[in-house]
Amino acid sequence: MPTALPAAPAVTAIAPVEAQLAAVTEGMAAVEATEVEVDEVPEVERRLNEKEDDEVIDGTSQTDALHSVTIAKFDDPKLGLPESLIKGLYEMNFTKPSKIQAISLPKIWANRNLLAQSHNGTGKTACFVLGMLRIADARVKKPQALCICPTRELAKQIAEETHRMGKYMLLESGMTVKCILKEERYEKGATMPDQIVIGTPGKIWTLISLRVLDTAAIKVFVLDEADEMLTAGHGDNTKRIRKVMPKQLQTLFFSATWKEETVKFANSLKGSGGEASWAQVTIKRQHIFNDQVKQYYLECNGFKEKEERLGELLSLIDAGQIIVFVNTRDSVESLTRRLTADGHSVSSIHGKMEERARDKALKDFHDAASKILIATNVLSRGIDVPAVTLVVQYDMPVMHGGMYDPETFLHRVGRTGRFGRKGVALNLIENKKELRVLNDIQDYYERKAQIQEIPPTTDPEAMLALLTVK
C-alpha cells in the first residue's frame, strides 16, 4: 500500500523519434477507422451501496484546499459540466456519483495530478473519461488527451464509454475519439486529428515514433490499471510514452490495486510543479474487496475431479453470465473443448487468439449469446459485463515462478458485483499447492475467515443456493 505522495511530473524534452522509425514502418497500409460499438441504455437507476465510514480515503494533505472537497451530483457548479455532457450522463443513468467520482472529479477539475484507487466496479472510468472530455478543445486538430490501458478489450470498452458519455458533447463540438487497436494502419505522412486517443502502449508508442500521433498538444495523460501498466510487459512502453509528453501535463493514474512500481514511478515524476500538484485517493488493503461479492472455495481431489466438478456446477446454474479464469492458453482451449462437448454454451478468449476472434468472443458473451466465458488473465482487469453473477477461478493466480498473485485474484473477483450489483466468486482448489496460494492471498488481504469453504459433500441443491445471487 502506498504511503508516499509523489511529486510533480518530470520536465522531459521530446525525444528524437527517427531512431525508432525504421523498425516500425514495415507493412503499414491505410485502413478505415475502427467502429465503436455502443451499449444499450440500462433501464434502471443503479445505486452503489457504499458504506458511510468507508474505506475510500482522501489521501491529499489535510492542509490542501481540495482535501475532502466532493460533489454530490454531476451538475454540481464546482464542475460546471456542459449541458450536453450532463445529458449524456443522465442517459446512461448516472444520477449519483460514486465515492471515487465524488472525491476525484474536483481534483481533476483543479488540474491536479492524481493517483486514484477504488474498488472494482465503482466507476473509475467515468472519472478519467470526464477529465479527458473536459480538457479537449475541438478547434485544435491534434490529440490532447491520451489514455493507455493493458488490453484491446479494455481500450475498446473505454472508447465506448467515452462515446456514450460524450454522445451529445462530441456531436455539438465536433470533437473525435480514436481507439487505437493493433490492426490500425496509417499512410506515410498521415497525422491523427482526433482530440481524444485511447489504446494499448505498444501500438501507441509505434504511432508516436512514426509521428502519426503528435504528442505536442497533449494536456492529460491517463493510465488505467496503472499498476499493471508499469510492470513487465507494458512498463517500458508506458515510460517511453510518458517521457515524450509535453512539460505542462496532467497525469492521472487509476486502479483498484497499487504495486510498488506504481508509486515508485509516480515518485520519479518530480519536477517544477512540486508535490502540491499531486493528489491521492487510497483504500486500505483489508477493505479492497467488494463485499457484495460472496467468496467461496471448493477443494477437489486432483485435476480430473476439478474438471468434473466444474461441469456439474455449470449444469446446475441457469441464470446470469459466468466467467471461468484459467492460467494458460492451453487450458482455455482444452476446457472449452470439454465444456462444449458437454453441451454448454461457451466462448473463450486468450492473448494469442486472432483479434477478430477475441472481439467476437467478448461480443457474444456481452450479448449473452454465450453464457460462459473461459479466459486467461487477458480479461482479468477492467472488463465490465454487468450481467456476470459468477466468477470461477479454475486455477489459482500465480506469477512467474509460482508466487501467489493477489492483484490478479482481486481483479478476477471484481468482474462480478459491478456498481452495486451482487455476485459470487468461487475458487476451485485442485491440490495442496493451490490451497496454499489461496491461503497466502487471504493472509495478504487479512481476510482469513471470509472466503468460506464449501464442503465437498454439499448436495446440488445447496450448492446452487450458495452460487446463486440473492
Whole-number minimum distance, CB 352 to ligand ADP, in Å?
25
Beta carbon nearer to Mg ion, 97 or 382: 382
The Cα–Cα gap between 72 and 193 comes to: 35
Beta carbon nearer to ligand ADP, 380 or 393: 380
- Pick the binder of ligand ADP from 94, 258, 278, 365 (CB under 6 A): 94
Q: Which residue has the cell 492458453?
A: 329
Beta carbon nearer to ligand ADP, 98 or 262: 98
What's the one-letter identity of residue 467?
A: L
Q: Which of residues 379-398 bind ligand ADP (CB under 6 A)?
A: 384, 386
User: Between 328 and 367, how does the x/- string for binding to ligand ADP read (CB under 6 A)?
Assistant: ----------------------------------------
Residues 6 or more apart from 38 whose CB is under 8 A from it? 160, 163, 164
Beta carbon nearer to ligand ADP, 127 or 136: 127
- Which does residue 153 touch among Mg ion, ligand ADP, none (CB within 5 to 8 A, set by kind)? none
- Pick the binder of ligand ADP from 126, 212, 263, 322 (CB under 6 A): 126
3-state secondary structure of 254: strand
Binding flag, residue 250, ligand ADP (CB under 6 A): no
Beta carbon nearer to Mg ion, 106 or 382: 382
Whole-number minimum distance, CB 125 to Mg ion, in Å?
5
The Cα–Cα gap between 142 and 95 comes to: 32
- β-strands 145-148, 293-299 pairing: unpaired
- Pick the binder of ligand ADP from 120, 277, 280, 377 (CB under 6 A): 120
Task: State the alpha helices, DSSP H only, in 35-139.
Answer: 83-91, 99-109, 124-135
103 backbone dihedrals φ, ψ, rounded to 5°: -85, -40
- Which does residue 418 touch among ligand ADP, Mg ion, none (CB within 5 to 8 A, set by kind)? ligand ADP
Instruction: Give the interface size with ligand ADP as a residue count (CB under 6 A).
Output: 19
Handedness of CA 312, 318, 324, 330 (dihedral sign): positive
Beta carbon nearer to Mg ion, 384 or 434: 384
What's the one-letter identity of residue 278?
A: W
- β-strands 278-282, 57-58 pairing: antiparallel
Binding site for Mg ion (CB under 5 A): 124, 382
- Which does residue 442 touch among Mg ion, ligand ADP, none (CB within 5 to 8 A, set by kind)? none
- Which does residue 289 touch among ligand ADP, Mg ion, none (CB within 5 to 8 A, set by kind)? none
Q: Enter the C-alpha cell of residue 90.
A: 443522465
Binding flag, residue 117, ligand ADP (CB under 6 A): no
- Which does residue 97 touch among Mg ion, ligand ADP, none (CB within 5 to 8 A, set by kind)? ligand ADP
Q: How many CA atoms lie within 13 A of 18 on its CB side?
A: 1
Q: How many residues does the chain have?
A: 470
Binding flag, residue 98, ligand ADP (CB under 6 A): yes
Q: Which residue is nearest to ligand ADP (CB)?
A: 123
The Cα–Cα gap between 271 and 376 comes to: 39
For residue 101, give the nearest of 34, 152, 50 by alpha carbon.
50
Q: Enter the C-alpha cell of residue 70.
A: 466532493
User: Between 406 and 425, how does the x/- string for binding to ligand ADP read (CB under 6 A)?
Assistant: ------------xx------
Residues 6 or more apart from 469 whose CB is under 8 A from it? 319, 320, 389, 390, 421, 422, 423, 424
Q: Which residue is nearest to Mg ion (CB)?
A: 382
The Cα–Cα gap between 229 and 235 comes to: 6
Beta carbon nearer to ligand ADP, 242 or 418: 418
Q: Which residue has the cell 491534434?
A: 142
- Which does residue 359 touch among ligand ADP, Mg ion, none (CB within 5 to 8 A, set by kind)? none
Q: Which of residues 26-55 bind ligand ADP (CB under 6 A)?
A: 46
Binding flag, residue 253, ligand ADP (CB under 6 A): no
Binding flag, residue 122, ligand ADP (CB under 6 A): yes
Beta carbon nearer to Mg ion, 179 or 346: 179
Span of 123-131, 174-182, 245-253, 290-298 interacting with ligand ADP by CB under 6 A: 123-131
Annotate 323-359 with b (16+ C-beta within 10 A) or e (fewer): bbbbbebebbeebbebbbeeebebbbbbeebeeeebb
Say if residue 259 is exposed, middle or buried (CB neighbours under 10 Å; 0-12, 13-18, 19+): middle
- Which does residue 309 touch among Mg ion, ligand ADP, none (CB within 5 to 8 A, set by kind)? none
Span of 90-98, 166-174, 369-377, 432-440 interacting with ligand ADP by CB under 6 A: 90-98
Can you give the binding site for ligand ADP, defined by CB under 6 A? Answer: 46, 93-94, 96-98, 101, 118, 120-126, 384, 386, 418-419
